[in-house]
Structure 1
Amino acid sequence: MELNRSGQLVLLLLGEKRSGKSSAGNSILGRQAFTKNTTCSSREDSAIYGKHVTVVDTPGWLSHTMTPDKVSQEVYRGLTLCHPELHAILLVLPTTSVFGKEELRALEAQLKMLQTPTWHRAMVLFTHADKLGAKSIQDHIKQQGQTLHWLLERCANRYQVMTNCLSSPKAQVTELLEKIQKMMETSSSRETQNILYTRLRRELGVKERTWWGRQVVEKTLNECDECDGVPGQMQQTPVCSGLALTFILLGRRKSGKSSVGNIILGREEFPINQYRQSSRCLVGRGTVSG
């Protein structure tokens, strides 16, 4: 199984106390690398399928009490141990407890401490799979509340189950590494697309607008029209000589989104009649202050 071009994989374990983080790390590395009751972040390496795998274990926190600064500092220090590059963040959740709002708030607080983009490389790792008995992980997820469903959506529904013993089935580790590899490929593809798109926008913004340049911009805008229900329909809006600005308005009903859009464009582009609430995405364009 080819993990990546460099042949190295770096994983960061995050989770509450007694969630099974250290045991999961031991199962991945195939040896007793970490001890229970972790108080300091530590890094351990192992050769798996001919590849160099690094696992960084971090101290756990408690959801219903304030997390000590020392724990948060150690979690952040764990990130600094993920060199040369962090490939996956494993959010460890035990199947023996409920993941509710308090647990989510505590998790988000620690993720914010990392001060780095998280969700495109995050995956939920369910531990204590042996405690599920005859119940499948899918049934376990269904029985959980909306909070867990929201977390899985943020992780693009990436998850893996693992039993908490050193002799965990090798298939669980294999599946985990394969899913991480797939996540890395998807993330790399999106990053490449974002780089190319940013470069295109920058080049078209600083160069003189040729007929070809206008066609590229108009083609891009027309592709965005699919969310307006009129795919492929050309709108005769002049392309300005400067860099175009694009906004997306998000908010609750009756929050004033449509009115704000009208104010920005300087005309009644979006319906604001109380009996005609926005039920689909709309696109409006115009020239504002040049």
Structure 2
Amino acid sequence: MGSFFSKWQDGSNETKDRQPAADNTSFLMKCVGLQCLTGPHTDEAKTGRHTGTTVNLVLLGMAGTGKSASGNTILGQKLFVSRPSSTPVTTKCQAKQTEINGVDVNVIDTPDMFDDDIAPSVRGKHVQRCKQLCESGPCVFVLVMHVSRFTDGERDIMEKLEKAFGREVRGRTIILFTRGNDLQQAGMGLEDFLHSCQPDLKKMVEKCGNRCVLFENNKSGSDQVEKLMTVVNTILKDQNNF
């Protein structure tokens, strides 16, 4: 499993169409003990990486949480199918590429592969395909959750992720909460939400090293993507990948 997480590709990737993200001021949002830290993106953070490295962002989570929409926000364009539906829209793993501040980013959208109703053989195929799409470089898992909903199926999702991808997944996971506007309308911030959320959700956040970001996928602008990428860079540096 270690080789899956540590594979590198020395600039030999095929050149693919990318949509550059705007280079705005970025922030580090790492909620530790309900304390959110923010700070500007330094030159070292922008340049302290290996040329030719592709960072893989794997979007995981239950159906309807906004994985595809979040992928489109990261990409800066609508490349994944995302629409309201009573049935899952994404049925297979797929990848699209972009470039963010000079870094090649491979965004991988996935179906709800941890639904208890999915046959183990189907789940195994999704996991294997996801691993194949991550072979271009280091991998960070983005667990997408609806900020206004926490289901029974999500309570043990970290254990399912570890079973599928190995124990390393815990140190490489960021929780991305969607529907940030719901908090804004309630006069709350992410810190307020985490302070008052269910105990099981708090435990999940702690298991992920308190790494959380908040997305509003109907919002234009790249600040929220910059926040996500700052946390991604922190993970990769901690893992000696940058």
TM-score by length of 1: 0.59
Match of 1:4 in 2: 49
Amino acid at match of 2:107: V
User: The residue matched to 2:71 in structure 1 has which SS?
Assistant: helix
Amino acid at match of 1:109: K
The aligned runs of 1:60-209 (5 Å cut-off) are: 60-61=112-113, 65-69=116-120, 70-98=122-150, 100=152, 102-115=153-166, 117-132=168-183, 133=185, 134-165=187-218, 167-188=219-240
C-alpha distance in 1, partners of 2:156/2:62?
12
- Aligned positions, number: 186
Question: Runs in 1 of length 4+ with deviation above 4 angstroms?
Answer: none
The aligned runs of 1:214-253 (5 Å cut-off) are: none
String of CA shifts for 1:112-140, please: whole Å, max 9, x gaps. 12246211111111111112222111121
Structure number with higher relative contact order (C-alpha < 8 Å, ≥ 6 residues apart): 2
Amino acid at match of 1:4: R
User: The residue matched to 1:117 in structure 2 has which SS?
Assistant: helix
Conserved 8 A contact 1:130-1:164: no
Indicate the structure with greater strand content. Answer: 2
TM-score by length of 2: 0.69
- Structure 2, gaps ≥5 residues long: 1-45, 83-88
CA 1:49–1:131 in 2, change beyond 3 Å: closer, same or farther?
Answer: same
The aligned runs of 1:234-273 (5 Å cut-off) are: none
CA 1:152–1:71 in 2, change beyond 3 Å: closer, same or farther?
Answer: same
The CA RMSD over aligned residues, in Å, is: 2.2
Identity within the alignment, %:
25
- Structure 1 or 2, whichever has the larger Rg, is 1
C-alpha distance in 2, partners of 1:67/1:110?
15
Conserved 8 A contact 1:99-1:144: no
Indicate the structure with greater helix content. Answer: 1
Conserved 8 A contact 1:45-1:53: yes
- 1:16 corresponds to which of 59, 62, 78: 62
Match of 2:16 in 1: none
CA 1:46–1:158 in 2, change beyond 3 Å: closer, same or farther?
Answer: same
User: The residue matched to 2:239 in structure 1 has which SS?
Assistant: helix
Shift of 1:62: 6.8
CA 1:154–1:46 in 2, change beyond 3 Å: closer, same or farther?
Answer: same
Conserved 8 A contact 2:58-2:108: yes
